[in-house]
């Protein structure tokens, strides 16, 4: 049995509209970092308001944390969370080389999307929403054009329940959170880059205004993607990345 990390709360619901919405409703009473898990979500959402299918058997959780740093620093926890997911996946499958991290906040399994992360500021808190295809993936027809195919953790040989996976993820996150608050972003950044998908290869980044293609060169100290184009190195704060 995976030990639960000290100092973290744990709330498990059978059904919620959204764990992010529940986190917002609870913000006044949550004084310590708290994981909120729903075994089923009926009105989940992803980045930019996109819908996220969360049937029973998959993983949908939000970590609600008091926010003590400026927004730009708090936002770096997307890297903490994705690295924690990577380590949790390795722990439950034993397959280190099968997973990769896609900037800014997705985890890939053999090139397909198995998990996504969404950060939101909620009053004086930071909410980190995590969705994982444990057993089910969305239908191919529901994916956006050019989106990576959806895959499940079960395809990597893991048959794990949402509550069991939460125990593993919470432990991995707590260790990395302590590292982040003690030493800053640099060590998290180095570990994240060691598992980055398509680092050193040509990718396309689509922002709200335009689309750029170049070599994925780095992630800087602010978490920006550094894209090497014909015009030089371009820092990208927010974008959808395509391979």
In the chain, pLDDT over 70 holds for what percent of residues? 93
Average pLDDT over residues 112-139: 93
Residue 42 lies in a domain: yes
Chain CA centroid to CA 92, Å: 17
**Per-residue model confidence as pLDDT tens digits over 61-118:** 999 999 989 999 999 999 999 999 999 999 999 999 999 999 999 999 999 999 999 9
Count of structural domains within the chain: 2
pLDDT of amino acid 137 = 82
8 A C-beta contact, residue 128 and residue 63: yes
Same domain, 229 and 150: no
Residue 2 lies in a domain: no
Chain position carrying tokens 């399994």: 109
Higher pLDDT, 96 or 143: 96
Same domain, 177 and 153: yes
The answer to whether residue 27 scores a pLDDT higher than 70 is: yes
Same domain, 226 and 115: no
CATH code for position 142: 3.30.930.10
Same domain, 68 and 93: yes
Please provide residue 77's backbone torsions phi and psi, each rounded to the nearest 5 degrees.
-70, -10
8 A C-beta contact, residue 226 and residue 197: no
Rounded distance between C-alpha atoms, residue 143 and residue 112, angstroms: 12
pLDDT of amino acid 153 = 97
Same domain, 177 and 211: no
Residue 1 lies in a domain: no
Same domain, 100 and 140: yes
pLDDT of amino acid 148 = 87
pLDDT of amino acid 158 = 93
pLDDT of amino acid 35 = 98
pLDDT of amino acid 132 = 97
CATH code for position 207: 2.30.30.100
8 A C-beta contact, residue 239 and residue 207: yes
Higher pLDDT, 146 or 57: 57
pLDDT of amino acid 143 = 56
Same domain, 59 and 165: yes
pLDDT of amino acid 149 = 87
Same domain, 21 and 68: yes
This prediction's pTM: 0.94
Same domain, 180 and 214: no
Rounded distance between C-alpha atoms, residue 2 and residue 194, angstroms: 26
Chain position carrying tokens 């909620």: 122
Nearest to 115 by CA among 142, 94, 88: 88
Same domain, 73 and 102: yes
Domain hosting 209: range is: 202-242
Residue 39 lies in a domain: yes
Same domain, 182 and 114: yes
Residue 4 lies in a domain: no
Query: Encoding tokens for residue 231?
Result: 């015009």
β partners of residue 34: 9, 64
Rounded distance between C-alpha atoms, residue 217 and residue 199, angstroms: 6
Same domain, 120 and 219: no
């Amino acid at each position: 049995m995976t030990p639960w990390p000290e100092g973290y709360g744990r709330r498990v619901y059978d059904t919620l509209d959204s764990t992010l919405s529940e986190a917002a409703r609870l913000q006044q009473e949550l004084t310590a970092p708290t994981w909120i898990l729903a075994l089923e979500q009926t009105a989940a959402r992803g980045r930019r308001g996109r819908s996220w299918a969360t049937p029973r058997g998959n993983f949908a959780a939000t970590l609600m944390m008091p926010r003590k740093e400026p927004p730009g620093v708090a936002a770096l926890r997307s890297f903490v969370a994705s690295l924690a997911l990577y380590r949790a996946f390795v722990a439950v499958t034993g397959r280190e080389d099968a997973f990769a991290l896609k900037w800014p906040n997705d985890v890939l399994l053999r090139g397909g999307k198995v998990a996504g992360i969404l950060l939101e500021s909620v009053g004086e808190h930071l909410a980190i929403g995590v969705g994982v295809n444990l057993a089910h993936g969305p239908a191919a027809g529901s994916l956006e054009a050019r989106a990576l195919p959806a895959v499940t953790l079960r395809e990597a040989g893991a048959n794990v329940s949402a509550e069991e996976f939460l125990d593993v993820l919470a432990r991995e996150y707590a260790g990395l959170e302590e590292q982040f608050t003690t030493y800053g972003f640099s060590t998290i950044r180095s570990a994240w880059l060691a598992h980055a998908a398509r680092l050193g290869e040509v990718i396309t980044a689509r922002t709200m205004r335009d689309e750029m293609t170049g070599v994925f060169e780095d992630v800087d100290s602010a978490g920006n993607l550094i894209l090497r184009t014909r015009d030089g190195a371009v820092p990208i704060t927010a974008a959808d990345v395509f391979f």
